[in-house]
């Protein structure tokens, strides 16, 4: 899967470079994995300046402006939170495109409503558009994180294309 992720990162870079656009990331359960994948591509500094790892709820609020009440009401792994994460990162980084990822990679932390492997994504564009998706991935912690990175990149490609 690593070669697939590198291929996706290269494709994203091609699209962003052609458009003269920049991307940012705001990640929780992936811990910077999406940013790592993007920066694995030579020349990525032309389309990626920085991202955010907001693993703790306080970081989501402090760094990208997620309303603590929204976190309290819906939980960190929720559509309203990833929407605010993506919009906040987009504004904070002055980017054209952002992806937000928040999930439960495991092995613990799951509930009946949000089992281990549940991950929410949001892709935000500078034009105001936001797309979200929820997935429940199988496998161990590493597998959930890797599948999350892949889907985050696929969504960025769709948003950039």
* Backbone dihedral angles phi then psi of residue 125, each to the nearest 5 degrees: -115, 155
Distances (CA, A) of 116 to 47, 100, 113, 148, 155: 33, 18, 10, 13, 22
Segment 32-63, tens digit of pLDDT: 999 999 999 999 999 999 999 999 999 999 99
Check which CATH number belongs to the domain holding 21 and give it: 3.90.950.20
Full residue range of the structural domain in which residue 106 is found: 2-160
Q: How many domains, in total, are found in the chain?
A: 1
What percent of the chain is modeled with pLDDT above 70? 99
Band (91; pLDDT cuts 50, 70, 90): very high
- pTM listed for this prediction: 0.97
User: So what's the pLDDT on residue 1?
Assistant: 54
Q: Name the average pLDDT for the chain.
A: 97
């Amino acid at each position: 899967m690593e070669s697939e992720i590198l291929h996706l990162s290269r494709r994203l870079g091609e699209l962003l470079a052609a458009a003269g656009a920049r991307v940012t990331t705001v990640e929780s359960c992936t811990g910077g994995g999406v940013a790592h994948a993007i920066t694995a591509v030579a020349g990525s500094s032309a389309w990626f300046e920085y991202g955010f790892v907001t693993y703790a709820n306080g970081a989501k609020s402090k760094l990208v402006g997620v309303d603590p009440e929204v976190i309290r009401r819906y939980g960190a792994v929720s559509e309203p939170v990833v929407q605010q994460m993506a919009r906040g990162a987009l504004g904070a980084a002055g980017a054209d495109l952002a992806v937000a990822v928040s999930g439960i990679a495991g092995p613990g932390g799951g509930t009946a409503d949000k089992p281990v492997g549940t991950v929410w994504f949001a892709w935000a564009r500078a034009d105001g558009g936001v797309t979200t998706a929820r997935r429940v991935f199988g496998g161990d912690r590493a597998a959930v994180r890797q599948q999350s990175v892949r889907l985050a990149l696929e969504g960025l490609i769709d948003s950039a294309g």
